[in-house]
Chains A and B, each alone.
Chain A
Amino acid sequence: MNPSKGGRIGLYAYGILILAFLYLPLISVGFASVSQARYLSFPIRQYTTQWYGQALESDTVSDLLWISLQVATIVTIISMVLGFFGALAFARYHWRFRRLYQKLILLPIFFPQSVLGLALLMWFNAVGITPTWHTAIIAHLVWIAPIATLIIAIRAYSFDPALEEAARDMGCSTWQTLREVTIPLLMPGVISAGLFSFLLSWGNFPLSLFTTGADLTLPEWLYAKMVSGYSPLVPTVGMLSVAASIVLVVVAFAVSMLTTRFKRNTTN
C-alpha cells in the first residue's frame, strides 16, 4: 500500500524541488546585493561588498531598522499576552460562547490584509487619530494576535485539565494555579507564538502600507524603492532584513536546545 521505493525517492525529490523553488528568488536577491554594477544584469561580472557598507552607514536605513524593530517588539509582547489568555478561552475552558469566539478569532486571518489596513486608516481618521508607526502596531496586532492565539491553543489542547484541578484541590488560588501550573505548561507555545509574532510583524507590508502615516517601516521603504526604479541598495537592505530574521531563528533554536539539555541534566 505504501509507496514503492521509487515512489518514495520521487516524493523526496519533489520536496527538495519545492524548497528550491521557494528559495530561488532569495538567491537572486543575494547575487544582486553583491553585484558591482549600478544597473543590475546577470551574469554578474564584478562582485563587491560596497553596498553593504553603504547600507550600514546610511542614516535612513538605521531609522527604518529602528522603527521596524520597535513595532515588532511591542507587537510581540502584546500578542503573547493576548494570545495566552485567548488560547485558554479557545481550547482549555468550556464556556458558553466558545464556538462563536473561535470563529471570531479566525476571521481576521481569513481577511485580505490590504483592505484591513485601509479600513483601519478610515477608522483612525473617523476617531481623530493621526497615523504614525504607533498605529501600525494596532494594525499588525489585529492580524498577529489571532495567529498567536492559535499557536498557543495547539499547546493548550494537549494539556491535561486534571493538573489544574489537582492544584486547586490542594488549595491553590486561581492566580497561584495560573502562575505555578498553567503558565509553565504553556510556555513553549507562548515562546513560539512570540517568535512568529516578531517575524511576521518584521516582514509585514500590506498592513503597514496604510497605517504608518509619514513613518516608514523597512518593507515599505523597500517597496517604494522597487516601484520607483532600481537602486542597488534594495537587494542589500532586503538581504540584511532576511539575515536579521535568520539570526533570530537560529538564536531561538539554540536557546531552546540548550534549555532542554540543561533541564535533562538537572533532572538526571
Chain B
Amino acid sequence: MGTPVPEVGPEVMVGVVVAIAAFLTISILLGFFMRKKAKSFGEWLVGRRDIGPLVTGFALVASYLSGWAIFGNAGLGYAYGWSGSWLIGTTCVAGTSLCLVIGYRMRRYVALGARTVPEMLRVRFESRTVQALAGFAMIILLIVYSVGQYKAMATVWKITTGTPFYGSLLVTAVLVLLYLIVGGYTGTQWVSCFQGIVLTIVGWTLGITTLIWAGGLGEISRVIETQTFTAPNGTQTGIPLDSYTLPLPPPEGLAFPGVDYVGVIAAMFMFLLMATGFPHNISRFLGTRKITKREYWIMLLILIVGGLTPLWIGLAGFAARTKWGNIFMTSEYYPMYGDSAPVYASISAGGVPLVSLFAASVFAASVATIAGMVMIMATNITRDFIHNAYPEASPKKMLWLTKLMLIPFIAIPLYWTFTSPPPILSEFMAGSAVAQAGIFFFVVGVSMYWKRATKWGAIATIIYGLVVTLLHPKAYGKIVGLYHWGYWALLLMFGSALIYVLVSLTTKPLSKEKLEKLFPK
C-alpha cells in the first residue's frame, strides 16, 4: 500500500473517447449489415433461425456480462474482500450451463410463432394474461437492473474525462439514445457476439494485468487479510476482510448477502437459477439453428471461458485494495466509492491502452445492455399490452409507439440513479437478479419441460415473486421485520417454486391435444 492514486490526464480521455467511438462504429456497421439481410420484423428479432453455436455462445456471454459482472465485481472485491466473491459469481458457470441445457428448447416456440419471451409464454399457456403479466414483471425488474448499468458507465466517464458524476449520467443517457438511434441494437445476435468476444478478452486481460501489477496472488491474499471493512462514506469498522463471511452489524448489515452462510447459500442458488431466469439471456436461443452434440460442447467451452471473466474483474478489485487500501470508500469518492477501483487499477496497471479498452467494454456491457433492456421494455408495452388488447392496431402505429416508449424507459432508471445512486452497484442489482431467477426460472425454464405446469401456476408465481421483491431488506422488508437478504432471497426463490408447483397441480393444464403440439414425442 502507499501507492498514489493516478492522476488522470487528457490522454486518458482521448483514448477512452476513441475506443468507445470505435466500438460504437463496429457495432453499427455489424448492425446495419445484418439488418439488411433480415426481411421482416420477426426475422430481425430471431434471424432465420440460422445462428450457429459460436455466435449464440458469445451472444449469451455478452447478455450475461452486464455492468455488474464486467465492472461492478471489482467494487465487490474491493469493498468486501473475500466475502464479496459470493456476488462476484465464482460459481456462475454452473448457472450458465443450466441456461444452455434448458434454453435450447426455446427454438420449439419460435416454430410455433413466438418471437419474444412473453410471446413464448402465451404460446405455452395459451394465455394473453400470462404474456402481459410477464411483460409487466420484466419492465419492473429491468428498470432496477438498468440503474446499476447507468452507474457503471457514469463512473467510468466521470473518472476518465473529469465530467461531474451527474453530468456523466446524462452523457450515459445520451450514449444510450445515440446507440438506439444509429442502430447499434439492430444487429442483435451478431453485435452481441462481437461484444461477448471483446468483454471476454478485456476482462481476462484486466485481471491478469492487475494481478501482476499488485504483486501476484500471494501478495494480494496477504494484504487483504490485514484489511478491515470500511462502509461507503468512510466509516471504519474493525471487521476483518479475511473470511468468506463478513459479520456486519444488524439490522442494516444483514442486507449484505455475504453476512453469513444463509446469505451465502441464497447467493449460490441465485447464481444457479438467474442465468436461465434472465429473459434477455434465454431469449438468445430463439434464433439458434439446430445444433449437433459436438457444437453443444463448443458452446459450453465458450460459456466456461466467458464465465470466468467475472472472476478476473473481481480480482482487479482485490488488486486495487492491495495497492490503495480503503481510500475509495471515503466520502471523497461519493457516490462511486468502491466501484471506482477498476478504472484506477486499469490506468495504473496498463496505462491508456488498457483503460481505453476497459471503458469500451463497460460501454458494451452497460450502455448496450441498457439499450437492449429499453428496447425489451418498450416492446413489452407495445407487443405484450397494446397489441395483446388491440390486435388490429396498425404495425406503423405500433412502431411509432415503440419508439416513443424508449424515452420514458431511458428516463426512469436515469432519474433513479440521479436521486439515489447505489453505493455498490452489484449489490443493488442482485435484488433484481433474485427476482428474475425466482420468477422466470420456473415460469419460463421449467414450463418448457413440465407438461403439468398451468397458466394459473405461472400467474401466481409472477404475482408472488413481484410482491416478495418489494419486501427486499433495503425496500419495504424493514416494515415486516425482513432485514436478512438471505432469508428474503430464499423466500422469493423457493416460495416461487412451491407456489408454481402447488398451484399448477391444483389447476387444469392444457388439453392433451394441445400439449402434444408443445411436447412432441
Same assembly: no
Residues of B participating in the A interface, judged by any CB pair closer than 8 Å: none
Residues of A participating in the B interface, judged by any CB pair closer than 8 Å: none
